[in-house]
Amino acid sequence: MVSENQSQALMPAYPWQATLWEQFVSLRDRGALPHAILLCAENGLGARKLARGMANYVLCSQPSHAQACGNCKACLLLKAGSHPDFKSLEPEEKSTQIRIDQIRELNAFLAQTAQQAAWKIVVLEPAQAMNVNAANALLKNLEEPAAQTLFILIAEHGNKVLPTIRSRCRQFQLPAPSRELALDWLSGQGVKGAETLVDYLGPYPLLALEWYQHDSLAERQAIQQDIEKLLGHQSTASAMSKRWSALEPPTLFSELLRWAESEIRRASLANASRKYVTFMFQFCDRLRQKCALLGSSANINAALLIDEAIFDLLGLARIRPKLGTSGVDRHDNID
């Protein structure tokens, strides 16, 4: 019989994680775990929960049938957030970076002898958030790890992690589920209109679930419609500035970036001019910088960032080709 604690600890947490979980369990059971794992996963696939499950399975004193027991002292301490041999590291509040002071504290933790079990485990997310100084401070422990120390670093894309860090980790890629599996899982969660969410977001079920619970789709679609109105000269810059100033800046700019990335794909398929595609790539870069700024400080002038984005969109309107749904550029010549 499975106890309540055991049922809460069952892994994998989501069906699309099953293959990767089996690979990890096999490595653990054969005593072949690497000292560092770089877990690469897009947002909306549950990488944090998977990493936590990995840590739980390694620390558990009585694992069985590819599951942590949920009842031993190690499992109960981890569940309570007080396991002395487990450390979770992420950017501090109002920051997008993992700083060198955090890594120094981590190094002090790693220098201590394990208290409850043979293993010490670190989960660090997102790995690309380490600045150069922080990464350099972590390198020694990655290069010369103590016995039975496991680092689990999480990143959306491995190529965004500094090469010096990436090269010292074994990469695990968590793939997105098929559209059918994503829809089946969302249906099991009671999500209505799952097809629309998946078509809009891609097969990222947890992100789709979050949007459904917060009714985010309508607001995001309205932003997309606003962009098209501005590009089609159906709205003015001042009217759009007023409207967008009422929105949460992170939501606005993440959706502007989503639109811009989608526009690049459409333009590439339509064989649009190099001038337009180059402008779009530059626009994306500026939007990413704005998103980073918004995540790094509470004192950013959001109104200025909005006006800059609108100015860029007005520039796009002057050179934008007519991109049909068939992927054919119907604009004869924009150069």
Looking at residue 150, what is its pLDDT? Answer: 97
- 226-230 long-range CB contacts below 8 Å, 24 or more apart? 227/256, 227/259, 227/313, 230/310, 230/313, 230/314, 230/317
Given a cut of 70, whether residue 315 has pLDDT beyond it is: yes
Contact partners, residue 48, CB within 8 Å, separation at least 6: 123, 125, 154
Mean pLDDT in the chain? 89
Looking at residue 323, what is its pLDDT? Answer: 62
CATH superfamily of 4-173: P-loop containing nucleotide triphosphate hydrolases (3.40.50.300)
Looking at residue 93, what is its pLDDT? Answer: 77
Given a cut of 60, whether residue 5 has pLDDT beyond it is: no
Looking at residue 266, what is its pLDDT? Answer: 86
Q: Is the pTM of this model over 0.75?
A: yes
Looking at residue 298, what is its pLDDT? Answer: 60
Percent of the chain having pLDDT more than 90? Answer: 70
> 149-155 and 120-124: which strand pairing?
parallel
Of 59-63, 300-304, 326-330, the one with minimum mean pLDDT is: 326-330
**What strands, in cross-sheet order, belong to the sheet with 120-124?**
86-89, 120-124, 149-155, 36-40, 170-173
Q: How many residues does the chain have?
A: 335
The pLDDT confidence band at residue 321, using thresholds 50, 70 and 90, is confident
Give pLDDT tens digits for 94-131.
777 899 999 999 999 999 989 987 899 999 999 999 98
The pLDDT confidence band at residue 297, using thresholds 50, 70 and 90, is low
By C-alpha distance, which of 178, 266, 255, 264 is closest to 217? Answer: 255
Given a cut of 50, whether residue 328 has pLDDT beyond it is: no
pLDDT, mean of residues 20-47: 96
The pLDDT confidence band at residue 9, using thresholds 50, 70 and 90, is low
Helix 302-319 × helix 216-231 angle, to 10°: 50
Helices then strands, counting H and E runs in the chain, come out as 15, 5
Given a cut of 70, whether residue 135 has pLDDT beyond it is: yes
CA distance 333 to 254: 31
| 245 and 303 Cβ atoms separated by less than 8 Å | yes
Contact partners, residue 93, CB within 8 Å, separation at least 6: none
pLDDT, mean of residues 284-297: 84
Looking at residue 267, what is its pLDDT? Answer: 87
Given a cut of 80, whether residue 157 has pLDDT beyond it is: yes
Contact partners, residue 202, CB within 8 Å, separation at least 6: 176
**Domain residue spans of the chain:** 4-173, 215-319
Given a cut of 50, whether residue 285 has pLDDT beyond it is: yes
